Amino acid sequence: MKSSIRTLAVVSGNAIIRGGLSRVLAGAPGVVVKHEVDSITSGRLRADPADLLVADLHEQRGSRMGPRFWTLLPPESRVIALVRAEDPPGLLAALQGGVRALLTRDTPAGELLVALQTVRHGGVHVCDQLVGPLLAQTSSERAAREPHLANREIETLRWVAEGLTHEQISRRMGLTEATVSTYVKRIRTKLNAGNKAELTRRAIELGYVTAH
């Protein structure tokens, strides 16, 4: 039967923080501290990887912790990362890179131990201090991905969604039918919609029209 004890590595470029983390984690049930190193690229982590990794990444800017950064972590390790509250990494990239808990240096020791046990048993933990920044970050990323339509394109899209023909739309908007056709082509390209039904669905999704 495989042992339920998990090995643990502690990583921090700050010796005081590294030592403090090790002392707190040494008393955690079900784990044993295997390594204390100053960098996630330490050869010891690659040569003899631990099951769990507590990494102090406070000195790293969140914007620089993209998918490539997380490949620096030892493969197969479940990671508890300490990051900046005001500049956290992208949540999706972190999860895909092996991170299973996001905390800050201000997270209480008790919560660190809770997060450790959650990760040890296959769960995910995010401290309260990071929930707001991560939600704001996700909203900003979503807004950046949404296509931008000019006002006349939005008006055209609304009429298309109402079922009007290009000729009817041209009369309502005081445009030539050719101009309306050009607008519709642009809208289809921006929304990646191949026909009227898809245009209508995307208009509803983006909030430009209300579903009947």
For residue range 101-110, what is the model confidence (pLDDT) as tens digits? 999 999 999 9
Lowest mean pLDDT among 36-40, 53-57, 133-137, 163-167: 133-137
Residue 101 phi/psi, 5-degree rounding, is -150, 140
pLDDT at 174 (0 to 100): 93
Domain extent, residue 62, equals 6-143
Q: What is the CATH number of the domain that holds 18?
A: 3.40.50.2300
pLDDT of 113 above 90: yes
Highest mean pLDDT among 81-85, 128-132, 154-158: 81-85
- pLDDT tens-digit readout, 114-142: 999 999 999 999 999 998 888 877 665 55
pLDDT of 209 above 50: yes
The answer to whether residues 30 and 72 belong to one domain is yes
Higher pLDDT, 76 or 69: 69
pLDDT of 143 above 70: no
Assigned domain for 1 exists: no
Question: How far apart are the C-alpha atoms of 159 and 167, rounded to whole Å?
Answer: 11
pLDDT at 138 (0 to 100): 66
pLDDT of 2 above 50: no
The answer to whether residues 100 and 160 belong to one domain is no
Element of type H or E holding 67: helix 67-70
pLDDT of 205 above 90: no
Q: Give the number of domains in the chain.
A: 2
Asked whether 143 and 153 are in contact (CB, 8 A), the reply is no
The answer to whether residues 69 and 133 belong to one domain is yes
Query: In which order are the strands placed within the sheet that holds 6-11?
Result: 31-37, 6-11, 52-56, 78-82, 99-103, 125-126
- pLDDT tens-digit readout, 91-101: 888 999 999 99
